[in-house]
C-alpha cells in the first residue's frame, strides 16, 4: 500500500496524451512494449488440419512460428491470398479456412521457414 506522500501513477497528460504507467512516457514514445520477450515458438512451423470444434468446417492451422505479431499477420495474409481463402491469426496461431495443408507447407518452405506436417 502506498503512503499519501508517494506520487501516484500518471495516467493522462495534456501535453502527451495517455501515459505508460511503468515508464511514465507517452504511449507513442513508450519503450516498455519493445522490451517484451520474443514470441513463443521453437521456430518449426507445424501444419495441421483441424475439423473438431469448428462446426464441421476444415481449417489448416500453423503453429510454432517464432515471429512478431506484425510479421505473423503479414505471413498469414500471404498464405490466405495464395490459397484463395479466408482465415485469421489468433494468439500466435495462423488459421487458413479449408484443407490447404500441402499448399501452406510448400509456401512456408519456399519462404525459408522450417515447416513440417503434423497430425494425420
Q: Where are the domains of the chain?
A: 7-36, 44-117
pLDDT value at 101 more than 80 = yes
* Mean pLDDT for the chain overall: 81
Residue 41: per-residue pLDDT = 66
Mean pLDDT across 17-29: 74
Residue 28's SS3 state is helix
User: What's the rounded Cα separation, in Å, for the pair 65 and 108?
Assistant: 10
CB 82 within 8 A of CB 74: no
Q: What is the dihedral of CA 9, 15, 17, 19, to 10 degrees?
A: -30
Residue 92: per-residue pLDDT = 85
Residue that has been written with the C-alpha cell 489448416 in this structure: 60
Residue 40: per-residue pLDDT = 63
Mean pLDDT across 63-75: 88
User: What's the rounded Cα separation, in Å, for the pair 105 and 74?
Assistant: 16
| 44-117, CATH topology level | Translation Initiation Factor Eif1 (3.30.780)
Q: What is the pTM of this model?
A: 0.65
Amino acid at each position: 500500500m502506498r503512503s499519501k506522500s508517494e506520487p501516484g501513477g500518471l495516467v493522462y497528460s495534456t501535453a502527451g496524451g495517455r501515459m505508460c504507467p511503468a515508464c511514465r512516457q507517452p504511449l507513442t514514445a513508450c519503450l516498455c512494449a519493445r522490451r517484451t520477450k520474443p514470441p513463443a515458438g521453437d521456430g518449426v512451423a507445424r501444419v495441421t488440419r483441424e475439423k473438431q470444434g469448428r462446426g464441421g468446417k476444415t481449417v489448416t492451422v500453423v503453429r510454432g512460428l517464432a515471429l512478431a505479431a506484425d510479421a505473423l499477420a503479414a505471413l498469414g495474409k500471404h498464405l490466405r491470398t495464395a490459397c484463395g481463402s479466408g482465415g485469421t491469426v489468433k494468439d500466435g496461431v495462423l488459421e487458413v479456412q479449408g484443407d490447404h495443408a500441402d499448399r501452406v507447407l510448400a509456401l512456408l518452405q519456399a519462404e525459408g521457414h522450417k515447416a513440417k506436417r503434423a497430425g494425420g
